[in-house]
Amino acid sequence: MTLDIATTAFLSQMAVNSEKPLHEMEVDEARTVLGSLAPFFGEGPEMAETRSLTAKAADGADIPMLALIPKGAPQAVMVYYHGGGFVLGDIEQYASHGRRLAERCRSVVVLVGYRKAPEHPFPAAPNDSWDALNWVDQNMESLAGARLPLMVAGDSAGGCLAAVVAQRAAREGAPQIALQVLAYPVTDASMSTASYEAPENQLLLNAPLMAWFFDHYAPEGVDRGAPEISPLNANDLSGVAPALVLTAEHDVLTDEALAYADKLKAAGVSVTAKSFAGQMHNFVVMHNVLPGAAAALDWTADQIDEHLAATASAASDVDTVVVGAGFAGLYSLHKMRELGLKTRVLEAGGDVGGTWYWNRYPGARCDVESMAYSYSFSEELDQEWEWSQRYAPQPEILKYANHVADKFEFRKDISFNTRVTKAVYDEERSRWTVFTDSGEAITAQYLIMATGVLSVVKDIDIQGVDQFQGPSYVTGRWPHEGVDFTGKKVAVIGTGSSGVQAIPEIAAQASSLTVYQRTPAYSSPAHNRPLTEAEIAERKREYPTFRQQQKWSSFGFGYGDVTPPKEAALQTSEADRRKKYEDAWASGSLIALGLAYQDVILDLDANKTVGDFVTEKLRAAVKDPEVAEKLTPKTYPIMSKRPCIDSGYYEAFNQPHVSLVSLKETPIETITATGVRTTAGEESYDAIVYATGFDAVTGALNRIEIRGIGGERLKDKWAAGARSYLGVAVGGFPNMFTITGPSSPSVMSNMMVSIEQHVDWVGDCIAWMRANGIDAIEPEADAEAAWVAHVAEVADRTVAKYANSWYVGANVPGKPREFLAYFGGVNTYRAICDSIAAQGYHGFKTHGGALAMAAE
């Protein structure tokens, strides 16, 4: 026998505690014993709403029901019949299983309290089941808010009832059943299959217990072979609803369940059947003790999703689904429209803007100059839009995103407040099915993941975060209405770019500000200022040349990175070096110091000359030497973590109401109800701001259940590191394109330039596929492996390896350590991508069409 270990342990415990078998008990006693198993079913998730309902049976009796309404928009309604041999079990015992089904299958689950034997023998149970089903069908809109697909489901005896009502619905032409979900259903009361004989199947359910059930349910004189008791005996199963049939390897009911699946199939019904290895009868509901229950639930939910998607209306088919309506998503939509492809954009936020929609904290702005951090694809747009400042603040960048969306009428193809939960690739049809939290399933040939690289806020890994009674804020999810800190005592935790930008602005409002710093940042002044009309006019005049310049520069800025530095810091006199660093400092550019000399990011000694220069500057800016000392980075080379540019960051600490706590000296023990407790003691606050960063680059992709060829999950493929080809495509996930994905220049560049480069390249690739009748494209494993190795090797040449930064995933506990971007330069990367395309997409394999290659 190959029972899984959890089942073996459970049965051993039962054996130790057992008194006598159920079938030797009186009915009431057996019901009590079964009821006592409820703790093994666990609690189940919280629902949006639970409703006790009553349907009327044809004979006037009440049929109690429990409707479990999950959070989020449901995709279907499931009428569920519990197991228990028509004698035992009730809707209360099944409530936790129902809640799990409701949440995982995104369905309103209605548990039916059909009348049980022996008080109410056959046909009470199937009649009540039928009446309840019709009640739900007629009241669906009040239950689920809309007319949704209707499913019937059940386990064991409940599986029998589900099968029976599905047959009847087919016979009578209504109600329309989208799917029947049968867990080890009773389908044959003869109890004569081989499953009944096998000694290893006599677990929880056996022939004496089944006989005891049937004796109560269908006592002498009742024809147990009738299809209403033994649905396997139905003559004609054509037109019956599609079925999912799941069975346990060690269950007396397995053979009859599979025989029913086969008979349905033979009648032309679509059936998906699965036998769960190492499992026994009843396993699907025993969530607290048997991991097999979770596996069965996952399988059921996935099958339901896929089945409902397959039957979804043709209106849900498009050429391309784009996930995200930030700058990458908007430009992807534009490109797809240029190619004449029908496209849907799905966006979790309430409007366009991505990063700039969510990050509304005070001081938020981009570290790339606005005239460079903007689209280049439309000369008209370049000429008509006016930036007010060198580094425009977040509201202005968001306004720009809105302007672009209006100008190109993007919104009509975007669904807002719609989060993509899952995407599944069907290799036979070369299509993706994309599932959303609003219950929609959309199929598309191409899937463009424009999900952003800094879009998932990192879980705050500080103890006690939930305990604080006052308001707390996360920079990456700032309230739309803004926050007024006037007169408030505020704590800010985190001193990366977000903290560095927010701290001076919060300090300007708060009566007291304490900054909790784990690792000091290297920051230089942004020298932000309003743009003059002359500057704007000149840049606009130069735009055509400037945009080209950006594309072929090393960071995509187009200023300061067009010509690579030739000199080495270590071969330059100290006086010349200082002059260069002073110029870089005065320039207010994010990259000027790093690009001052060619060896700054390659050589630790050269790097130290820049680090020392910045330290000297900060010590000059900060009046209190003790505070300056704390603010001085000592544990990593400059540029190995993302540098910052600021507007008065160091100077903020000169104000008497601003203080700094070094968490290296006094770590946080916990957040408390009133404030923050470090090893030095507790401090109370009116508000806490977390500027603790993001699950960068891979976070958004890994949070979606993405399944490629053979059902492989992207997050499994990436468990040890994000493997892709060029950061834009992933082997095993055909026709999925990741805009600014891991191992592309992305965060090591001006995102706008990298976004446009990726989207243009993807557009060209799709156009090429269509011109050649190619259905699908994906990287070859060798090409992918070589690219991953190259990206690592390039990063390894730099000082980046010396820091525990988000660049290498070190900020998220458990994340694999790897450099998440290509450090070889935007220009080099563009040349590589162009060359690969010119060679007929070298390193990719294709499916379908004249040029179809190896994999066919």
CB-CB contact of 74 with 107 (8 Å): yes
Binding residues for ligand NA7 restricted to 769-828, rule: CB under 6 A: 806, 811
CB crowding 76-103: b at 16 or more within 10 Å, else e: bbbbbbbbbbbbbbbbebbbbbbbbbbb
For the beta carbon of residue 192, count every other beta carbon within 10 angstroms.
12
Among 497, 746, 798, 827, binds ligand NA7 (CB under 6 A): 497
CB of 683 to ligand NA7, least distance (A): 15
**Among 178-186, 321-329, 619-627, 691-699, the segment contacting ligand NA7 (CB under 6 A):** 691-699
Q: Residue 424 forms beta bridges with which residues?
A: 433, 707
Task: Name the burial class of residue 760, with classes exposed (0-12), middle (13-18) and buried (19+) by CB atoms within 10 angstroms of its CB.
Answer: middle
Among 496, 611, 731, 742, binds ligand NA7 (CB under 6 A): 496
Structure token digits, residue 247: 């069975």
Among 642, 707, 723, 847, binds ligand NA7 (CB under 6 A): 642
CB of 808 to ligand NA7, least distance (A): 11
CB of 586 to ligand NA7, least distance (A): 22
Among 279, 394, 692, 754, binds ligand NA7 (CB under 6 A): 692
Handedness of CA 97, 99, 102, 104 (dihedral sign): negative
CB of 435 to ligand NA7, least distance (A): 29
What are the helix and strand counts (H, E) for the chain? 26, 28
Among 519, 553, 702, 827, binds ligand NA7 (CB under 6 A): 519
Phi, psi of 161 (to 5 degrees): -65, -40
Closer residue to ligand NA7 in complex, CB, 345/688: 688
CB of 775 to ligand NA7, least distance (A): 37
**SS3 readout for 478-520:** CCCCCCCCCCCEEEEECCCHHHHHHHHHHHHHCCEEEEEECCC
CB of 766 to ligand NA7, least distance (A): 29
What is the spatial order of strands in the sheet that 107-112 belongs to?
49-56, 62-69, 107-112, 76-81, 150-155, 179-183, 243-250, 271-280
CB of 451 to ligand NA7, least distance (A): 15
| Helix residue ranges, H only, 588-674 | 604-621, 625-631, 649-652
**Among 17-25, 77-85, 392-400, 497-505, the segment contacting ligand NA7 (CB under 6 A):** 497-505
Closer residue to ligand NA7 in complex, CB, 36/463: 463
Closer residue to ligand NA7 in complex, CB, 150/364: 364
Largest distance between two CA atoms of the chain: 108
The structure tokens 């939509």 sit at 333
CB of 257 to ligand NA7, least distance (A): 50
Asked if 691 is part of the footprint of ligand NA7 (rule: CB under 6 A), the reply reads yes
Integer CA distances (angstroms), 348 to 411, 437, 706, 755, in order = 14, 9, 17, 19
**Among 166-174, 464-472, 494-502, 586-594, the segment contacting ligand NA7 (CB under 6 A):** 494-502
| CA dist., res. 692 & res. 671, Å (int) | 14
CB of 492 to ligand NA7, least distance (A): 10
Sequence-separated (6 or more) residues with CB below 8 Å from residue 540:
382, 383
CB of 552 to ligand NA7, least distance (A): 23
Binding residues for ligand NA7 restricted to 187-226, rule: CB under 6 A: none
**Among 61-69, 253-261, 491-499, 622-630, the segment contacting ligand NA7 (CB under 6 A):** 491-499
Q: Residue 671 forms beta bridges with which residues?
A: 676
Q: Which amino acid is at 789?
A: A
Integer CA distances (angstroms), 27 to 87, 160, 206, 423, 672, in order = 8, 21, 17, 48, 53
Closer residue to ligand NA7 in complex, CB, 445/519: 519
**Among 298-306, 496-504, 534-542, 848-856, the segment contacting ligand NA7 (CB under 6 A):** 496-504
**Among 266-274, 651-659, 692-700, 726-734, the segment contacting ligand NA7 (CB under 6 A):** 692-700
**Among 69-77, 258-266, 488-496, 538-546, the segment contacting ligand NA7 (CB under 6 A):** 488-496
CB of 360 to ligand NA7, least distance (A): 13
Among 323, 493, 584, 706, binds ligand NA7 (CB under 6 A): 493
CB of 358 to ligand NA7, least distance (A): 11
**SS3 readout for 89-137:** CCCCCCHHHHHHHHHHCCEEEEEECCCCCCCCCCCHHHHHHHHHHHHHH
Closer residue to ligand NA7 in complex, CB, 680/786: 680
Closer residue to ligand NA7 in complex, CB, 400/807: 807
Closer residue to ligand NA7 in complex, CB, 649/725: 649
Closer residue to ligand NA7 in complex, CB, 254/455: 455
CB of 667 to ligand NA7, least distance (A): 8
Task: Name the burial class of residue 141, with classes exposed (0-12), middle (13-18) and buried (19+) by CB atoms within 10 angstroms of its CB.
Answer: exposed
CB of 644 to ligand NA7, least distance (A): 8
Binding residues for ligand NA7 restricted to 736-755, rule: CB under 6 A: 747
Asked if 494 is part of the footprint of ligand NA7 (rule: CB under 6 A), the reply reads yes
Closer residue to ligand NA7 in complex, CB, 106/641: 641
Give the nearest residue (CB) to ligand NA7: 496
**Among 129-137, 393-401, 444-452, 492-500, the segment contacting ligand NA7 (CB under 6 A):** 492-500
Sequence-separated (6 or more) residues with CB below 8 Å from residue 563:
none
Asked if 498 is part of the footprint of ligand NA7 (rule: CB under 6 A), the reply reads yes
Binding residues for ligand NA7 restricted to 657-676, rule: CB under 6 A: 663
- Please choose, from the candidates 255, 262, 245, the residue with its C-alpha nearest in 3D space to the C-alpha of residue 196: 255
**Among 249-257, 308-316, 686-694, 822-830, the segment contacting ligand NA7 (CB under 6 A):** 686-694
* CA dihedral of residues 98, 101, 106, 108 (deg, nearest 10): -20
Closer residue to ligand NA7 in complex, CB, 366/728: 366
CB-CB contact of 631 with 623 (8 Å): no
Q: How many chain residues bind ligand NA7 (CB under 6 A)?
A: 22
CB of 603 to ligand NA7, least distance (A): 23
Report residue 575 CA to chain centroid gap. Answer: 52
CB of 807 to ligand NA7, least distance (A): 9
Asked if 439 is part of the footprint of ligand NA7 (rule: CB under 6 A), the reply reads no
Strand 62-69 relative to strand 49-56: parallel, antiparallel, unpaired? antiparallel
Among 170, 203, 348, 462, binds ligand NA7 (CB under 6 A): 462
In the DSSP assignment, the letter for residue 344 is E
Phi, psi of 291 (to 5 degrees): -60, -25
Report residue 537 CA to chain centroid gap. Answer: 43
CB of 373 to ligand NA7, least distance (A): 12
In the DSSP assignment, the letter for residue 725 is B
| CA dist., res. 6 & res. 4, Å (int) | 6
**Among 181-189, 203-211, 690-698, 736-744, the segment contacting ligand NA7 (CB under 6 A):** 690-698
Among 51, 265, 337, 518, binds ligand NA7 (CB under 6 A): 518
Residues of this chain that bind ligand NA7 (CB under 6 A): 454, 461-462, 475, 493-499, 518-519, 642, 663, 691-694, 747, 806, 811
